[in-house]
Amino acid sequence: MKVKTAAKINLNLSIQNSPDSNLHKLDSLIVPIDLYDEIDICIANENKDNIVFTNNKNLSKESTIHKAIACLRRNTNLTNFFNIKIDKGIPIEAGLGGGSSDAAAVLIAIKKMLDIQLPDHLVIANEVGSDVPFFINGKPAKVTNIGDKVEDYFIEKEIFFLIILPNFGLSTKNVFHQWDILTKENLETEKHTVFDSIEVFNDASHAAFYLEPRLKEMKDLIEEELDKNIFLTGTGSALFAVFDNKDDADLCKEKLVIDNCSTLVTKKIDYSYKELSD
């Protein structure tokens, strides 16, 4: 089975400590976007998994896909092994959810191939990752608790994004660790409203900018150059601006000249998972 699985943008992200979990409690409005990884998965004839990231060999040793399959084996009667090839189009450590999207796509594909029941979202969030239930659901959604509670959030309006990708990433683990330290300072997160109703903000930005001052410098420079609010998505290094039409997003992309990063224009889509063939 060949599938495409999309990236995401956190339009907003509120973070709290969770007394009941080693994960943090989240409240986030997330939308899938038209930036994809492609995955080819089939049942293996030998008793081992062969998971290959064609353009990132390090991920072939340990990834969220490995965690997802291990989660299935712990929580279901799965006995099969798999050959999986992943062509990465979603940058890693960017806050765009590529690893979680891959894991969710593999879980969905295995469910369809073998007609098995997936573990519940709480188990998947704890054992694989807090963004994975969002991608299993696949639609724009309000995500709460530790990522296991996913409620569809219909946004009628088209949304386009100019995404700025620095040539460095950020570790989610390091960002949350730094957030734990900085929350003692009672930092306030700056919030902006787009389209009259959607608040855009990210509580993780304080920690991200502390760990990577270059990211804050880049954000300030882009805001000055484009006269647009620039935001951080998730706990990675990707920055984004919000537009209501593609022409304006493309115009800002052409206008922006900044070193040590790349840019692309994407849009909100309705569903993150797409089968290309059986």
How crowded is the C-beta side of 7, counted as CA atoms within 13 Å?
27
DSSP class of residue 233 equals -
Hey, what are 134's tokens? 């969002």
Q: How far is CA 113 from CA 42, 59, 255, in A?
A: 9, 24, 47
Which residue, among 190, 272, 196, 260, has the nearest Cα to 232 in the 3D structure? 190
Q: Is-contact 155 131, C-beta < 8 A?
A: no
Our answer to whether residue 4 is catalytic in this structure is no
Question: Which among 37, 88, 102, 131 is annotated as catalytic?
Answer: 131
CA distance 241 to 50: 38
Element (H, E) at 106: helix 98-114
Cα–Cα distances (Å) from 220 to 54, 201, 229, 252, in that order, read 35, 15, 9, 15
| Vertex 62: Cα angle to 182 and 70 (nearest 5) | 100
Amino acid present at 43: I
> From CA 197, how far away is CA 236, in angstroms rounded?
25
Catalytic residue among 4, 8, 139, 268: 8
Q: Does 131 qualify as catalytic in the annotation?
A: yes
Supply the DSSP string of 42-100, one letter for each residue: EE-SSSS-EEEETT-GGGGTS-HHHHHHHHHHHHS-----EEEEEE--SPTTSSS-HHH
The catalytic residues are 8, 131
